[in-house]
Amino acid sequence: MRNLNKYFILILILATFTSCYNYGSFYLLQEGKRSLPEYEKIDYQDYKIRVNDELIYRLISADETISKIISPQTSNTSQNNISYRVYTDGTIDLPFVSKIPVVGLTLNEATIVIEDSLKKIIPDAVVKLSMVNKTFTIFGDAGSGIYSIYKDKLTIFQALAMSGDFNDSSDRRHVRIIRETDNGTEILEFDIRPKSIIDSKYYYIYPNDIIYIKRDFSSFYKVNNYTALLSVITFSMSLLFSVLNYTK
């Protein structure tokens, strides 16, 4: 009988470690909780062109002949257009115009610089500039993949929705973004649950960002609901009685 009591105590201890997921650890945009961090709001910063970025441009001019020679684009989609890689010296070479510095400029600023260079050849030149490599990557305990940034100011929530959202076991307290900056690779770690994440430095996704969602270690001991918890306890007791009957 003592051994039986010991087994029951062991089961209770295991059941204590096996807990259900707390709703507070799941839902987003929480506010008013002291346990959650409060993030500072910052102004959105436009993406600045970096080395190895690939740009495509479209030249618009009244002179269609020279426009087609300098900008031989066949379609409005980037898939059929010629892209130009930014060199390690921070410049880009375009037909008839070489060594245009673009690194560190926003797309709007680079458009003006390229347009001014082309106006030396075509006085009425108008340039439309865009990036080919406007993508971000997600991996870890969520939908993994490489996705296109389809709009300006793409948010972390929209990025996660594109990948299929979190799993129940995902760690929402330690989301990481790996981002290339002028000072090297930066790792931003944050809790995605507080409402103050909106308009913080963690809120917007930039080209070439890598989002890592790790698995919550404690999820190994958790079940999705109390029905599942009851099933675990029932199975454990059934196994216990089977062992006891076998030993007898």
Q: Would you state the pLDDT for residue 53?
A: 95
Domain positions in the chain are 23-45+134-220, 54-130
Tokens representing residue 220 in the block: 């190994």
Tell which residue, 81, 78, 29, 64, has the closest CA to residue 196: 29
pLDDT in tens, 116-160: 999 988 899 999 999 999 999 999 988 889 999 999 999 999 999
- % the chain with pLDDT above 70: 73
Per the prediction, the chain carries an average pLDDT of: 82
Alpha helices in 134-189 (DSSP H): 156-163
The amino acid that residue 134 corresponds to is: K
Alpha helices in 80-172 (DSSP H): 107-118, 156-163
Q: What whole-number distance in Å separates Cα of residue 177 and Cα of residue 197?
A: 14
Q: Would you state the pLDDT for residue 221?
A: 46
Q: Would you state the pLDDT for residue 95?
A: 84
Greater model confidence, 184 or 71: 184
Q: Would you state the pLDDT for residue 32?
A: 82
Helices H / strands E in the chain, number of each: 5, 12
For 54-130, which CATH superfamily applies? wza like domain (3.30.1950.10)
Architecture of domain 23-45+134-220: Roll (3.10)
pLDDT in tens, 22-72: 656 778 999 888 889 999 999 999 999 999 999 999 888 887 777 777 766
141 with 148: CB under 8 angstroms? Answer: no
Burial 38-76, CB ≥16 within 10 A → b, else e? ebeeeeeeebbbbeebebbbebebeeeeebeebbebeee
